[in-house]
Chain A
Amino acid sequence: MSLVVDSIVKKFERFPALNGVSLTAPQGAFLALVGPSGSGKTTLLRILGGLEFPDSGSVHFADLNWLDVPARDRRAGFVFQQYALFKHMTVEKNIAFGLTVRAKKLRPPKEEIARRVEELLALVQLEGYNKRYPSQLSGGQKQRVALARALAIEPRMLLLDEPFGALDAKVRKELRGWLRAIHERMGITTVFVTHDQEEAFALADLVAVMNAGKIEQYGTPQDVRRAPKTPFVADFIEVQAGI
């Protein structure tokens, strides 16, 4: 049940956003994609989520040819940088959305959905916020609702695109530890995109450093830190650490 990404190429108007990307991660891994803006992180994540399709290459996950599974059947919980909450729905409706759209046969009964919403609200520490609208929440709270909404469908894979990018430094640090705790508890294979190498190293089991549509180096944070394989990686780590 591991994740195998093989030789993915994706071009936008002939300009390659991904130029032969391959990586393998074991089931339940916490994987960080890190790299400068425009290096192709979001594109790769969207391909994993079924929101974008590569020109060539393959992805295998859960014994499936992952690219042949439509987005809505993948059960890949996606968390967007700008939250993408449904503005006209309350917090509880947002979280329950993935369950209420299921076919009748697969849809849990109302009480069961309500119970799950309560559980998730507790998990993201937003008890009592059921009836709020997204416009009545802070940025950090919105992102926690977005995560709860993604977790509600019992995802096989969790995809996060710079989820803390729009938040201030203090909230970022808090949410970071808390996300790691959730991962430890649930063991869902998680791919986390960030342009902040410190955040990547603090969170992930495996780090892929990306540059110009390619993976420059892939390994554990310790390995990448100890032995940068290319001048780019050395530079990227150093420059960012120097800030």
Chain B
Amino acid sequence: MKFRRYPTQDHPLSRIALSLIAIGVVTLFLVLPLATVFTEALRKGLGVAWEALDDPDARAAVRLTLITAAIAVPLNAVFGVAASWAIAKFDFKGKQFLTTLIDLPFSISPVVSGLIYVLIFGLQGWFGESLREANVKIIFAVPGIVLATIFITFPFVARELIPLMEDQGRDEEEAATSLGASGWDTFMRVTLPNIRWGLLYGVLLCNARAMGEFGAVSVVSGHIRGLTNTMPLHVEVLYNDYQFVGAFAVASLLALLALVTLVLKSLLEWRFADDIAATHRH
């Protein structure tokens, strides 16, 4: 019997053409830039790349990046849990508006996100004078970097947990409460086990952005080598200094971080599809 094509199937030639376009787009825009990072880092051999990473300024940048993420991520995780508890488990006026406000940092330019803190804490900012008198440095110092990073990564955990907890409803918590469990017990024993994979998913994305943020941090950092350079800023400094191998070597560390994030993310989507927000289930 001759081959017959289903009416919802595309013509074999269209399939090939569309597949090639898709693969071409992904290769051109995603694969090639990624490959460039690693080949440029290794252009002069592993040894030279390693030297760039072993440099004290590079190590200081790695340390600052880790410290920043270690402060910003837990804070935003706690916020995300609190916000989603309030929004998903209770009905109150202005809930929709609150959700929109939480998403706000996503739609603001990273540079503007840094700018707002300069306007408050910078030398000519609202508190600039008093901070100088008290000898507290926020802008061009670590606190500013942490603040800007918190702002940028603010919505990640919350926007993951809000739809998830809304999906899960309130029955289990209400049952636990009616059985006499305290609020804390209810949260720890009922809610947290239900949201743990969603929470991890949000923390994963939050962390990737916290370690990789550039624009906002760049505005508040002042680019002081060894002191206020995070890894992405160090990449910029080296690149503008024509130290390309060094720049790409540090960049490849960040690219590895991105790849690990993508692998873990795909793993979570695949293995725990039912335990993360519905929009991520493929």
Residues of A within 8 A of B (CB): 50-53, 56, 67-68, 70-72
Tell me whether A68 and B2 are in contact (CB under 8 A): yes
Tell me whether B6 and A51 are in contact (CB under 8 A): yes
Is B33 interfacial (CB 8 A cutoff)?
no
**Other contacts beyond A51-B6, A71-B7: 13, CB < 8 A:** A50-B7, A51-B7, A52-B6, A53-B4, A53-B6, A56-B1, A67-B1, A67-B4, A68-B2, A70-B4, A70-B5, A70-B7, A72-B7
- Chain B residues with CB under 8 Å of A51's CB are 6-7
Measured in the bound complex, the distance between the Cα atoms of B201 and A116 in whole Å is 56
Measured in the bound complex, the distance between the Cα atoms of B1 and A67 in whole Å is 10
- Nearest-neighbour CB distance to chain B for A15, whole angstroms, equals 19
Measured in the bound complex, the distance between the Cα atoms of B4 and A68 in whole Å is 8
Residues of B within 8 A of A (CB): 1-2, 4-7
Secondary structure call for the B interface: loop
- Chain B residues with CB under 8 Å of A52's CB are 6
- Chain B residues with CB under 8 Å of A70's CB are 4-5, 7
Q: Which residue of A lies closest to B4 (CB)?
A: A53
- Chain B residues with CB under 8 Å of A50's CB are 7
Q: Which 3 A-B pairs have the closest CB atoms?
A: A71-B7, A53-B4, A51-B7
Measured in the bound complex, the distance between the Cα atoms of B4 and A71 in whole Å is 10
Measured in the bound complex, the distance between the Cα atoms of B5 and A71 in whole Å is 10
- Nearest-neighbour CB distance to chain B for A91, whole angstroms, equals 24
Measured in the bound complex, the distance between the Cα atoms of B3 and A68 in whole Å is 10
Q: Which residue of A lies closest to B8 (CB)?
A: A51
Measured in the bound complex, the distance between the Cα atoms of B2 and A121 in whole Å is 40
- Chain A residues with CB under 8 Å of B5's CB are 70
Measured in the bound complex, the distance between the Cα atoms of B6 and A50 in whole Å is 8
- Nearest-neighbour CB distance to chain B for A166, whole angstroms, equals 22
Measured in the bound complex, the distance between the Cα atoms of B11 and A72 in whole Å is 14
- Nearest-neighbour CB distance to chain B for A55, whole angstroms, equals 8
Measured in the bound complex, the distance between the Cα atoms of B8 and A65 in whole Å is 22
Measured in the bound complex, the distance between the Cα atoms of B6 and A71 in whole Å is 9
14 chain-A/chain-B pairs, Cβ below 8 angstroms: A50-B7, A51-B6, A51-B7, A52-B6, A53-B4, A53-B6, A56-B1, A67-B1, A67-B4, A68-B2, A70-B4, A70-B5, A70-B7, A72-B7
Q: Which residue of B lies closest to A49 (CB)?
A: B7
- Nearest-neighbour CB distance to chain A for B126, whole angstroms, equals 51
Measured in the bound complex, the distance between the Cα atoms of B1 and A53 in whole Å is 10
